[in-house]
């Protein structure tokens, strides 16, 4: 009888004998099958690798395109010179910081003296208006700033052609002025600031303090450094001030002007009614308050103050300058409606109000700058929403 032990020994002998026999060579069919299996494995690994790369690279590309690369794209081009999104963001951040310094110095001056019956002084009212203008400028820099930066480049190029330069002392004065509480009326200026002439001798921070405040603005290195501030802000401001003076040489401080008031109505029938009431002895100021549609002057008796030639629309100007002091015109039609005009005084050598003089000088400057900014072959902008959003995020630090 065969025992379990003998069976185990025989199985071992059979296994040893089988191991000593030569292996049967794989057939071509087996080789082909193995090669196909290896190829499938390789393809599977490749597909998995590509999918993994896509998972990594697609978001990375999106980040590069929307965050890193977008900052290097153009937001404005001026005479072939490109302003990148990041360059503008650095400019806007610096300008916002400088305006914040101005506001910090100006706002306490706008507060009336504490008193039960205190009323703001004219100076305080002017200061309050300047505060509002600076706040509006600061808030709108992300959208209006590209035009302002482009203006600086245009001004710098024009100054070179005219031989206008900016000395280091003038750049220092500009920095001191832009870091101090602004003086005078800011409403006549738009775009790049301009400097008063002559420069105030009081009310400005020292140069050392101005430089300290500037370093505080760029404390984290995100905005313009001192050299860039000179190039993109201070030098254009100094040169714009000189260019405005050069372009407005025909604007004289003494001009032929009239002081007039008017009543503006919508139609000729109403104008005829007002004219007849005036002929019957009606009070001009009272009729202006009753009938005039000019909300800016009706409550002041229709008074328009002094104005020179070129400040009113042609039909109105021609009528006003043809009247003698005290005379009242027949109805005059313009694009705004029908006017009854009375000249209060006419002075061929009237001293122009400083605010009005500044406006006239800026008008001469705008007549030069406007066609350049409107020429898309010289100045063009690409202020797409994603670029402005990039600037806003850069400024907010998000």
Contacts for 158-161: CB closer than 8 Å, 24+ residues apart: 158/243, 159/239, 159/242, 159/243
Quick one: pLDDT band at residue 54, thresholds 50, 70, 90? low
Asked if the model's pLDDT at residue 159 lies above 60, the reply is yes
Question: Residue 61: its pLDDT value, please?
Answer: 46
> What's the pLDDT score for residue 5?
55
What pLDDT, on a 0 to 100 scale, did the predictor assign at position 169? 96
Whether the pLDDT of residue 44 is over 50: the answer is yes
Q: What average pLDDT does range 364-387 have in this prediction?
A: 94
Kindly tell me the burial class for residue 334, based on how many C-beta atoms sit within 10 Å of its own C-beta (0-12, 13-18, 19 or more).
middle
Question: What pLDDT shows up at residue 117?
Answer: 55
What mean pLDDT, rounded, does the chain reach?
A: 86
Q: DSSP readout, 154-173?
A: HHHHHHHHHT----HHHHHH
Could you tell me the pLDDT band of residue 381, with boundaries at 50, 70 and 90?
Answer: very high
Judge whether residue 262 has pLDDT over 90: yes
Q: Residue 211 has what pLDDT?
A: 95
Residue 60: what pLDDT?
A: 46
Is it the case that residue 349 has pLDDT exceeding 80?
yes
CATH class in words for 254-351: alpha beta
d(CA 127, CA 111): 9
pLDDT attached to residue 219:
78
Q: What is the tens place of the pLDDT at every residue in 69-80? A: 799 999 999 999
Residues 246/248/253/254 CA torsion (nearest 10 deg):
130
The more confident residue out of 18 and 339 is 339
Contact 268, 331 (CB under 8 A): yes
Query: What radius of gyration, in Å, describes the C-alpha atoms of the chain?
Result: 39
pLDDT in tens, 305-318: 999 888 899 999 99
Are 251 and 257 a contacting pair, CB within 8 Å?
A: no
pLDDT band at 6 (very low <50, low <70, confident <90, very high): low
Judged against a pLDDT cut of 70, whether residue 398 lies above it is answered with: no
Average pLDDT over residues 330-352: 95
Nearest to 388 by CA among 148, 53, 92: 92
Residue 108 is given by DSSP the state G
Instruction: Give pLDDT, residue 130.
Output: 84
* 171-189: average pLDDT: 85
The predicted model gives 83-102 an average pLDDT of 94
pLDDT band for position 164 (cuts 50, 70, 90): very high
Q: With 90 as the cut, is the pLDDT of residue 50 above it?
A: no
Q: Where are the domains of the chain?
A: 74-110+123-251+382-396, 254-351
Phi, psi of 348 (to 5 degrees): -70, -10
pLDDT the model gives residue 356? 83
CA neighbor of 157 nearest in space, from 240, 241, 245:
240
Residue that wins the pLDDT comparison between 162 and 189: 162
Has residue 86 got a pLDDT over 80?
A: yes
Q: pLDDT at position 64, please?
A: 40
d(CA 146, CA 143): 7
Percent residues over pLDDT 90 in the chain: 60
How many alpha carbons fall within 13 Å on the CB side of residue 131? 15
Kindly state the tokens that stand for 1: 């009888």
Q: What percent of the chain has pLDDT over 70?
A: 84
pLDDT at 337: 96
* DSSP labels, 4-68: HHHHHHHHHHHHHHHHHSPPPPPPHHHHHHHHHHHHHHHHHHHHHHHHHHHHHHHHHHHHIIIII
**pTM greater than 0.85 (yes/no):** no
Element (H, E) at 366: helix 354-373
The per-residue pLDDT for 279 is: 95
Average pLDDT over residues 170-183: 92
Tell me the two tokens of residue 7. 């069976």
- Helices and strands (H, E) in the chain, number of each type: 13, 7
């Amino acid at each position: 009888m065969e025992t379990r032990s003998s069976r185990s020994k025989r199985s071992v002998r059979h296994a040893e004998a089988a191991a000593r026999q030569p292996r049967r060579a794989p057939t071509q069919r087996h080789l082909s099958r193995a090669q196909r299996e290896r190829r499938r494995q390789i393809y599977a690994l490749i597909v998995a690798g590509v999918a993994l790369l896509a998972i990594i690279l697609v978001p990375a590309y999106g980040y590069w395109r929307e965050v890193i690369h977008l900052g290097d794209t153009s937001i404005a081009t001026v005479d072939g010179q490109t302003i990148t999104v990041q360059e503008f963001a650095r400019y806007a951040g610096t300008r916002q910081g400088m305006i914040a310094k101005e506001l910090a110095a100006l706002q306490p001056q706008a507060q009336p003296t504490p008193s039960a019956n205190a009323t703001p002084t004219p100076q305080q009212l002017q200061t309050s208006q300047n505060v509002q203008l600076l706040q509006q400028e600061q808030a709108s820099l992300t959208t209006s700033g590209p035009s302002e930066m482009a203006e600086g480049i245009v001004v710098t190029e024009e100054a070179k052609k005219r031989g206008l330069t900016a000395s280091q002392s003038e750049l220092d004065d500009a920095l001191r002025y832009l870091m101090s509480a602004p003086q005078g009326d800011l409403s006549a200026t738009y775009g790049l600031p301009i400097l008063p002439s002559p420069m105030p001798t009081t009310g400005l921070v020292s140069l050392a303090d101005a430089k300290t405040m500037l370093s505080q603005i760029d404390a984290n290195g995100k905005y313009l450094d001192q050299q860039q501030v000179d190039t993109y802000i201070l030098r254009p401001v100094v040169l714009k001030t000189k260019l405005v003076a050069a372009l407005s040489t025909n604007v004289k401080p003494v001009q032929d002007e009239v002081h007039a008031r008017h009543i503006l109505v919508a139609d000729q029938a109403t104008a005829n009614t007002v004219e007849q009431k005036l002929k019957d002895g009606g009070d001009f100021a009272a009729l202006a308050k009753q009938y005039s549609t000019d909300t800016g002057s009706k409550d002041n008796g229709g008074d328009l103050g002094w104005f020179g030639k070129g400040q009113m629309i042609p039909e109105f100007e021609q009528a006003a300058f043809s009247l003698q002091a005290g005379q009242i015109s027949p109805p005059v039609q313009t694009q705004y409606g029908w006017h009854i005009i009375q000249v209060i005084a006419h002075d061929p050598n009237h001293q122009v109000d400083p605010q009005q003089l500044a406006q006239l000088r800026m008008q001469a400057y705008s007549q030069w700058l406007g066609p350049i900014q409107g020429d898309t072959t010289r100045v063009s902008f690409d202020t797409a929403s994603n670029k402005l959003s990039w600037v806003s995020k850069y400024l907010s630090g998000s």
